[in-house]
Structure 1
Amino acid sequence: MSFRALPPSLSEPPRPDPICAVVARPSVAEALADLSESCKRKVSLVEIRFDRLRDLADPGVFTKASTVPLLATVRRKADGGAWEGDESSRLDLLRRAIGAGFSWVDIESDAIGSFPRLGAEKRIVSFHDCQGVPADLEARYQSMASADADTIKVACLTRTPAESARVLGLLAGVPKPTVAFGMGEVGQAGRVVQLKLGAPFTYAAVSAETAVAPGMLTIAQLQLNFGVRRVNASTRLFGVVGDPLGHSLSPMIHNNALRKLGNNDLYVPFTVPKGMLGEFVSSHGFLGIRGLSVTIPHKEDACRLATRRSAEVEATGSANTLLFHGDGVIEAHNTDYDAVLDSVMGGLKNHPAGWTLKDKRVLVLGAGGVARSVVHGLSSRGALVRLTGRTRERADAIASAIPCEVVDWNARHAEPVDVVVNCTPVGMHPHAGESPLEASFIAAPMVVMDTIYNPESTALVLMARERGAVAVTGLDMFISQAAAQFKLFTGETAPADLMRQVARNALASRVSRPQAQAPR
């Protein structure tokens, strides 16, 4: 899957993307190959991680080969690097890099006093904490800002939304250009969002295999998935909240659709651990997020968090979309509701016997937010719904609000049904070989729908096809609900065909290259 870049103005020369490519290879030959690739990708800066090199003789080999400014870094192990030599040798290597023509050097905040400027080189003063966010983070930043630095870099491992927001908050009213983000999955969105807050660039791996920090994105992801060149202070921010999000195609399809409108809006994945949606919303208010897609495990929490709820949200107790208004109003919608009904009805329409939902026996697998929408929608159209989930209490809670029969998970194969709708994550990437049902349970003329879209043809869908059932994939439902979200976010009709094609291209790419992952 790829984005087409917006055409630059005819009056402006092409400008590099706000990306610092990180070259971290053990051999000079490999590093030179990555440097060449980075230059081709039109990044602003390339960092050579000398601490990762095993056979370096002359830093000049890089300056001779580069067409973009170079940044020299020799990161100590204590700061997340690989340097095990003495401090004197480390600083001497930085001096040699400057002498060889490197435009930038990275110096840790506790070493800046031992490293006076040699000439016209630019200096990044950095602080890394690979264990967490220190209590004195803000004081450390102020101390760094008073040092002889051209740019400040702060990177801390973050485990909660509040910690990630605290690191990003350093970018408010900064005295010097600053790059600040959380490492790890929870902080990953900040690597992109910081550009909206004024960061001059963000760091990126040349490939996923060469990432040197948890949560680091690749050049391709930043350019193609997020279009970072267009991000600035005027960018309207949208996103998806959930955990996990490695499977999510939402950023790809929404950013492609936003780009189709010709603006610089941005949609990013925010990994938010279970039970922390409220913390995320309260701590990230300063970002001015306009709207969020909501996925596992936050759909019921999103309903409770909202101050306004659509009729579908009120009926199901589940929300997959949040809109944020300047007056503090949080508006909840459920675009899953119509999307899943349309998909099931489409499967019935294609049934050889011309089935309708009335009096059909339906087994719904799962007891989360999507299952709530499915149970309510199918019940309201006369289906006889049987609900099962691994957690009986959650299924009982749905049944107390929406009349249906609840059966134990271990008894899900006990009675024959006409329709199956899987609302569990069983079979989702990267566990695509798993199925929530045994093959012997499925037979013609049953209709089997899987709400999972990654992969499009899950083990359950393949099983249904093999056994003569009518199989309905989750992709059409996914695109339908996403298109409805897009309309709520922007007020514009979504380019649904484009979104579907982007999703299919991305899924096909993952099948051919299993190592490729969506941003996490």
Structure 2
Amino acid sequence: MICITVAPTSRTLAKVDILNAMRYADIVEVALDHLVKEPDVKDLLEGWEKPIIISCRRKEDGGQWDGSESDRMTLLRQAIVAGPAYIELDLDIASRIPRFGKTQRVICFTSMDRPVRDIDSIFDEAAQAQADVVKFCWPTPTLDDAWPLLSAVSQKRRLPIVGIGLGPADRTFSLLGRKYGSPWIYAALEKGMEAFSGQATVFDLDEIYHWREIDRNSTFIAVAGFGETPTMTTRIFNHAFKLLGANVRCLPLQIGDLSMLKKMLEILKVRAILASGPSGGQLLPLADHIDEQDRKSQYVDLLLKKDESWSGYNTLWRSGLMALEGTLSGGAATGPRPLDKHNILVLGNGPVGASIAYAVTQRKGIVSICGPNDKVSQKIAQELQCRFVPYQNLYDTLSDVIVIADKGLVCGTKAGAVNPSVFRPNQTVLDVSDPPLEHPLFTEARERGCRVVEPSKVYTDQLQMQFKALAGRDLPMEAFAKALSE
């Protein structure tokens, strides 16, 4: 089930908010702490077929209540008498508010500033306070921070657990909570109505993650990060798995400490990880087996669990190189090495730039490395035995091809930025900074008459390689159409 929280400020419009939430939710939580005037809870509860949770949170717990604690407890007691399906009570006050009627008690423990590790003692305390459901809420910026919550919900306990991971990683918990049997998960009704920054909307959970189809038998593929590119990949792959009738879905997660990641993925039965951007360099140490070329590129964007070990692959340099060579050769087989003797300038500091630079050197291109951080550029150039161009000499460097390989590059005329005057009409420009997104420098290159290799082409080829490795089948093109139409 899905629970949508509404936090009305007006008693007059409160029922409108509840009505709108009821259309999409299985349970609606009504937060009384935002109301300007004291509510008539009995009136708010009348006429609804779906269950309602009543809550009233203090500011230190993420709410807006600014009255006294005595008045808040009085309001909660009055709310219980009105007979909601559930009442949410903070763990520290639950023992002072007795059970009444058929209202079930959601005993909540909140920590707004840091994750909590001692789940068991808190759970036992909530059980002693006559909890029917135990709720946890704390920041989950990475998988490490969310792990105690995920571990708790994945184990069989005498009372059900629900939870909210503050931040975008709440999606990780929500999808795993769905798989492991949490009685409900939380979502916002729409953008602008989130209970906390980064919370998924009910439409996100439906259209991107297909949460209603997840069950105990579902298999997850981890997708690193919560940006536009990881979300687009998730959307496309989830459509593809659905079209093929596979009980597989993508699980977004923010990678933290690598030392425990393999163990966490094993417990969660996650057997593949997809990465993009800088995450590809971060995941490299996890690969137990990796092709020599991919190892030298220092970048992996696909990790697959095979038997008891992880194999790493770099699909970005392959798809980027394929798209670039196809453009330079006009799509025809004009020779075995279209990059041979071309002067290629790789712009950027980071694993993506190093990866594509390595790939071009294998095709006998004449590679130069340049980025805002000269020390990093020089190190990459030394490792790959190619030319290092100091950043101040960027505009004096002749090149046939420019590769934009760092989404952190700034386009402009200010100090430290890349001036688009670096592009000339006779050049070919490839953008692998964050496919399928287009870097502002790439837009400038197109407008200045350069021959361009679209990042969407690189992205399409990359996804096809990754999906084939994951599913053993071709990626249905219909999945692209469905994802883009949304």
- Residue 141 of structure 1 corresponds to 123
Measure how far apart 1:188 and its partner are: 4.6
Q: Identify which of 200, 204, 207 aligns with 1:217.
A: 200
Higher mean C-alpha deviation, range 134-143 or range 459-468: 134-143
Partners of 1:51 and 1:319 in 2: how far apart? 47
Range with greater deviation from structure 2 (60-69 or 72-81): 60-69
Change (3 A) 1:323 1:30: farther
What letter corresponds to residue 386 of structure 2 in structure 1? C
Q: Is the 8 A contact 1:278 1:305 kept in 2?
A: no
- Matches for 1:403-482 after TM superposition, within 5 Å: 403-426=385-408, 437-452=418-433, 456-482=437-463
Q: Does residue 1:62 correspond to 2:49, yes or no? A: no
Measure, in 2, the Cα distance between the counterparts of 1:278 and 1:187: 22
SS of equivalent residue, structure 1 residue 46: strand
> Matched residues in 2 for 1:63 and 1:312: separation?
64
Q: Could you tell me the percent identity over the aligned residues? A: 25
Secondary structure of the structure 2 residue equivalent to 1:125: strand
* 1:381 has 2:363 as partner: yes
Please say if residues 112 and 125 of structure 1, whose CA atoms lie closer than 8 Å, have aligned partners that are also in contact: yes
Work out the CA distance in 1 between the residues paired with 2:449 and 2:55. 60
| In structure 2, C-alpha distance between the alignment counterparts of 1:164 and 1:203, rounded to whole Å | 15
Tell me how far 1:200 sits from its aligned partner.
1.6
Asked whether the 8 Å contact 1:319–1:369 carries over to 2, the reply is no
Q: Which of residues 498, 503, 509 in structure 1 aligns to 2:478?
A: 498
User: Once the two structures are superposed, what CA deviation does each residue of 1:183-215 show, in whole Å capped at 9, x if it has no partner?
Assistant: 234555223222222212111111221212244
Question: Distance in 1 between the 2:92 and 2:465 partners?
Answer: 51
Superposed displacement of residue 50, structure 1: 0.6
Deviations 1:6-39 (A, max 9, x none): xxxxxxxxxxxx2100112322355433322222
| Cα 1:483/1:66, change in 2 over 3 Å | farther
- Write the deviation string for residues 440-459 of structure 1: whole angstroms up to 9, x where unpaired: 22121211121245774442
Matches within 5 A, 1:19-34: 19-34=2-17
Q: Distance in 1 between matches of 2:463 and 2:13?
A: 41
Partner amino acid, structure 1, of 2:459: F
Show the counterpart of 2:241: 258
Q: CA deviation at 1:304?
A: 2.4
Please list the CA deviations of residues 75-119 of structure 1 after superposition, one character each: whole Å capped at 9, or x if unmatched. Answer: 122222111223343233334434444211111112221122211
Distance across 2 between alignment mates of 1:29 and 1:433: 53
Counterparts of 2:464 and 2:29 in 1: how far apart (Å)? 39
Residues 440 and 163 of structure 1, relative CA distance in 2, 3 Å threshold: closer
RMSD in angstroms over aligned alpha carbons? 2.8
Residue 342 (str. 1) matches residue 342 (str. 2): no
TM-score for the superposition, normalised by structure 1:
0.84
Q: Output the CA distance in 2 between the equivalents of 1:485 and 1:408.
A: 35
Residue 416 of structure 1, CA deviation: 2.1
**Equivalences for residues 315-334 of structure 1 within 5 A:** 315-325=296-306, 327=308, 329-334=309-314
For 1:365, the aligned partner's letter is L
Which of these residues, 9, 16, 20, is aligned with residue 37 of structure 1? 20
In structure 1, what is the Cα distance between the partners aligned to 2:281 and 2:302?
A: 11
1:189 equivalent to 2:172? Answer yes
TM-score norm. by structure 2 comes to: 0.90
Please state how far the C-alpha of 1:398 moved relative to its aligned partner. 3.1
* Structure 2 spans left out of the alignment, 5+ residues: none
The answer on whether the counterparts of 1:365 and 1:387 sit within 8 Å (CA) in structure 2 is yes
SS of the aligned residue for 2:54 comes to strand
Measure how far apart 1:287 and its partner are: 1.0
1:128 — aligned with what? 110
Measured in 2, the distance between the counterparts of 1:484 and 1:51 equals: 51
> AA paired with 1:479?
T
Q: Would you say 1:238 and 2:250 are equivalent positions?
A: no
Task: Tell me which residue corresponds to 1:52.
Answer: 34
Structure 1: distance between partners of 2:426 and 2:350: 27
TM-superposed deviation, 1:302: 2.2
Report what 1:509 is aligned to: none
Change (3 A) 1:251 1:71: same
SS in 1 for 2:368: strand
CA contact (8 A) 1:453 1:475 kept: no
Deviates further, 251-260 or 46-55: 251-260
**1:364 Cα shift?**
0.8
Larger RCO (CA within 8 A; separation ≥ 6): 1
The answer to whether the 8 A contact 2:107-2:131 is kept is: yes
* Cα pair 1:293 1:322 within 8 Å, conserved: yes
Describe the shift of the 1:447–1:504 C-alpha distance in structure 2 as closer, same or farther (beyond 3 A).
farther
CA distance in 1: counterparts of 2:11 and 2:330, whole angstroms: 60
Three-state SS of the structure 2 residue aligned to 1:203 is strand
Residue 175 of structure 1: which of 154, 158, 163 is its match? 158
Q: Residue 474 of structure 2: SS of its match in structure 1?
A: coil
In structure 2, the residue corresponding to 1:362 is in which secondary structure? Answer: strand
CA apart distance, 1:267: 0.7
**Which segment drifts farther, 31-40 or 144-153?**
31-40
Task: Tell me the CA shift for residue 502 of structure 1.
Answer: 4.8
Q: Verify the 8 A CA contact 1:479 1:499 in the aligned structure 2.
A: no
Cα distance change on mapping 1:102 and 1:424 into 2, 3 Å: same
- Give 1:73 deviation, angstroms: 0.5
Deviation at 1:65, TM superposition (A): 5.1
Q: Distance in 1 between matches of 2:59 and 2:189?
A: 21
1:203 aligns with 2:203: no
Q: Contact 1:39/1:67 (CA < 8 Å) preserved in 2?
A: no
